[in-house]
Amino acid sequence: MNKIVVEAKGIEKTYKMSKTNIVKALCGVNIEVREGDFSAIIGPSGCGKSTLMHILGLLDRPDAGTLEIDGIDMTKLPEKKAFRMRAKKIGFIFQGFNLIPTLTALENVVLAGRYGGMKKSVRINQAKELLKMLGLGDRMNHKPSELSGGQQQRVAIARALMNDPAIILADEPTGELDSKTSMEIMDILKKLNRNENKTFLIVTHNMEVAQACKKIIKLRDGKNA
């Protein structure tokens, strides 16, 4: 059986919006992701999907519970170490692409390598190879505004792959794309999973996207459904 890449147990998160408005976003959620998984997290709006993704991506901390990534306990890491772990162990793909508009496609991807501690010469070559692999060899020097939505998301995928992360977290990766482009992006992710054994965890409300995954994890009211 493949090794466990992400193991979250009893994850809880509460937001105090005001003295009288306290939102319990997560109530003891358990998640296990193994190497080579291609999984979706689904659930109604407000069920805690995005909160869970932020915690799994080390962008936020749980109030209770444990989180291990690649066998390392992440819940007690100081912020600097959490930042390094985030850069090296986790790749992110976002709904809104989150590319830096003043940088070219190549520069956006190279930046991820810099954060991951990669040597300059290595990261430039690596970024070029990834962009070529994703069909963007002739678009490397274009800025995001000069690229289509699908091309921007492919740049974001290259950026996510840059440091060979243990897991790639994708938050509504097709949310801003038309149905045809959405399926093209999903085909790219499936090929990376099948051919490169990349591990994906995808948050989505799109059932077509969820059904393209090997496993579905359901949340409801901040709990495993």
pTM for the complete prediction?
A: 0.93
Domain range annotation of the chain = 37-61+76-224
Range in 114-118, 187-191, 210-214 the model is least confident about: 114-118
What's the pLDDT score for residue 10?
A: 97
Q: What are the tens digits of pLDDT across the range 75-113? A: 888 988 888 889 989 999 998 999 999 999 999 999 999
What's the pLDDT score for residue 79?
A: 87
Question: Using an 8 Å Cβ cutoff, are 83 and 61 in contact?
Answer: no
Confidence band (pLDDT; 50, 70, 90) for 210? very high
37-61+76-224: which CATH topology?
A: Rossmann fold (3.40.50)
Using alpha carbons, select from 212, 202, 183 the residue that is nearest to residue 43: 202
3-state secondary structure of 122: helix
Q: What is the mean pLDDT of the chain?
A: 94
Confidence band (pLDDT; 50, 70, 90) for 182? very high
